[in-house]
Structure 1
Amino acid sequence: MLNPLWLNTFTTLVEVGHFTQTAEKLNMTQPGVSQHIKKLESACGYSLIRRENKGFELTEQGKMVYEYALKSAKDEASLIEKLSFDNPYSGQCTLSCSGSLALLIYPKLLSLQQQHPDLSIHLEAAPNQKILTEVQSGNIDLGIVTHIPNSSFYQSEIIGSETLCLLLPKSYENKQITTELLFNCGLVDHPDAMHYLSLYFDLCGEKELANINLDELPKSGYINQLNQILLPVANGVGFTVLPESAVENFSQKESLYIAQTAKKVEETLYLVQKRTRNLPERYQTICTLLQRVLS
């Protein structure tokens, strides 16, 4: 790497055009200026100036080094400007959440991006553990998960909650939800099904459901695409549990029956970031929006 002090002396000399005046401008001696130029030429391996009488001319290599020095100075100034100015409506934001939550928040994030074109939003749908892994590795800056992560590695806060729904075909409307009914209906399995089922059965206030052995539930099928999970339920093939946001975004929700149980089941949502990561100001814009949507 070329010494930036030598480059500065060289560009000043080119712009001033005189060794003595360059020395005065830089508060140096004339021999000091000459020494910097000689050291720069030695580092480059080429003569950069050709002396003529009391003046000098740039060699072809000198012109190239001068252009390089100007670009380096411009890049450094640009960097310093970026470091000192943090625009809340500009730059890339990376975040991750569950697929059902993504259906809810992405339209809001897209609207924000339309208002502020310099804001770039990268949203990834993923399960809890992948979200935490990506946050810890630095691939994602913000995540939304459904349990409190290890405080040694993550900074977290409650940002809202999601209502969980036990969903059956419309033909089951007004029927009592029993173990036998669910076994006969069969579970439409999906990546988060066991987590949602366990939480729902434990908190819904129905003792019979709380005693169901999830491992024994017969399965009517499996699908890992969020926008497809409710299709078999709507067509009379099985039941499942999903967040309310997934139901609201389903085109055939009139074909579904949301079971009524003793207690409403809500899952707490936690906004997480890496503990040692100081996020740019634009993430406060994102957090404000998320709090408004999810609170």
Structure 2
Amino acid sequence: MLNPVWLHTFRTLVEVGHFTHTAEKLNMTQPGVSQHVQKLEQSCRQSLIRRINKRFELTEAGRILYDYALQHAAREQALLAQIQHDDPYQGDCRLACSGSMALWLYPQLLNLQQQHPLQIHLEVAPNHRIISAVANGDIQLGIVTQPPIDARLSAQLLGDEPLCLVLPKRYQDKPITVELLQQCAMIAHPDLEHYLQLFLNKCGHPGFDSCHSSDFPVIGYINQIHQILQPVRQGIGATVLPLSAIKAYNHQQDLYIAPTQAPVTEALYLLQRKHQPLAQRYVMLKQWIDQHWQQMASASQ
């Protein structure tokens, strides 16, 4: 790697065109300027200048190095400008959430990206991977359904997301019983066991709280979040999903969301590293996510 101080001296010498004047401009001695040039020549293993009396001419290697020195100075200025100007609506944004949350969040982020020069990178992952990615600094913000125990992280409660039992339309207005749900059978997905157990524990329907998710037969499985509701729409089985995933589905009118005796919700947390100051674009993004989530939650009530 070329010494940046020597490189700066060489670039100044080429632009000033005189050793003594270069030394004066850089508050150096003339022998110091000569020494920097000699050290660069040793590093490059090429002669950079050819002295002609009190003047000098650049060699071909010297011209190439001067062009490099200009590019290096320009990159350094651009870097300093970027560091000093922390624009809340420009730059790279890396965040992660569950697949069901992404169905709601990603279209909202695209709208934001259309308005501002942001680069949005949204990772869809389970809770444990999101927590690990935020803790390791690979992702700056994460949305999860459980507060982390990792001391490196801080969590802000975003709100409570409703969990919904979704059935084929033919079950509309029928009493929701254990027998009906067993008869309907379940469309499984990676989070069904967790969601279904929460629903059984909290929904308030008689007999549900004494059931286990394994008590209900599975008639199909799909691990693509945007496809989970298709077999429900076609009357094949039921499933449990967050409300945000259902609202992102284009055929909600063909589904039946079963009423509950008590609210069934799951808490959502917004994660970041505890002692790492966020760039302004992430501060903006946290506020923006919180605002849009609250708007969506209010509209759902």
Same fold (TM over 0.5): yes
Q: Which amino acid aligns with 1:216?
A: D
* Cα distance in structure 2, aligned partners of 1:154 and 1:207: 40
Residue 199 of structure 1 corresponds to which residue in structure 2?
198
Contact preservation (8 Å) 1:188, 1:222: yes
**Are 2:52 and 1:52 equivalent residues in the alignment?**
yes
Offset of residue 89 of structure 1:
0.9
**Are 2:236 and 1:237 equivalent residues in the alignment?**
yes
* Cα distance in structure 1, aligned partners of 2:241 and 2:49: 74
Contact preservation (8 Å) 1:163, 1:267: yes
**Correspondence list, 1:27-66, <5 A:** 27-66=27-66
Contact preservation (8 Å) 2:103, 2:226: no
Structure 2 CA distance for partners of 1:225 and 1:38, relative to 1, 3 Å: closer
Structure 2 CA distance for partners of 1:43 and 1:183, relative to 1, 3 Å: same
Residue 75 of structure 1 corresponds to which residue in structure 2?
75
Q: Which runs of 5+ in 1 are unaligned?
A: none
Contact preservation (8 Å) 1:96, 1:124: yes
Contact preservation (8 Å) 1:186, 1:218: yes
- Map Cα deviations across residues 78-118 of structure 1 (whole Å, 9 max, x no partner): 212211111111111111112221121222211111111x2
Residue 129 of structure 1 corresponds to which residue in structure 2?
128
* Cα distance in structure 1, aligned partners of 2:241 and 2:215: 20
Residue 103 of structure 1 corresponds to which residue in structure 2?
103
Offset of residue 160 of structure 1:
2.0
Contact preservation (8 Å) 1:41, 1:48: yes
SS in 2 for 1:278: coil
Residue 144 of structure 1 corresponds to which residue in structure 2?
143
* Cα distance in structure 1, aligned partners of 2:69 and 2:286: 41
* Cα distance in structure 1, aligned partners of 2:55 and 2:140: 56
Residue 154 of structure 2 corresponds to which residue in structure 1?
155
* Cα distance in structure 2, aligned partners of 1:65 and 1:21: 21
Offset of residue 151 of structure 1:
4.2
* Cα distance in structure 2, aligned partners of 1:4 and 1:252: 62
Residue 90 of structure 1 corresponds to which residue in structure 2?
90
Offset of residue 17 of structure 1:
1.5
Structure 2 CA distance for partners of 1:19 and 1:252, relative to 1, 3 Å: closer
SS in 2 for 1:92: strand
Q: Which amino acid aligns with 1:206?
A: H
- Map Cα deviations across residues 156-190 of structure 1 (whole Å, 9 max, x no partner): 10112211111122222222222111111111111
TM-score, length basis structure 1: 0.93
Q: How many residues align?
A: 294
* Cα distance in structure 2, aligned partners of 1:35 and 1:139: 44
Contact preservation (8 Å) 1:163, 1:264: yes
Q: Which runs of 5+ in 2 are unaligned?
A: 295-301
Contact preservation (8 Å) 2:49, 2:59: yes
Residue 298 of structure 2 corresponds to which residue in structure 1?
none
Contact preservation (8 Å) 1:105, 1:293: no
Residue 15 of structure 2 corresponds to which residue in structure 1?
15
Offset of residue 278 of structure 1:
3.0
CA RMSD of superposed structures (Å)? 1.7
Residue 291 of structure 2 corresponds to which residue in structure 1?
292
Q: Which amino acid aligns with 2:118?
A: L
* Cα distance in structure 1, aligned partners of 2:94 and 2:169: 39
Q: Which amino acid aligns with 2:126?
A: P
Greater shift after overlay, 261-270 or 20-29?
A: 20-29
Structure 2 CA distance for partners of 1:164 and 1:64, relative to 1, 3 Å: same
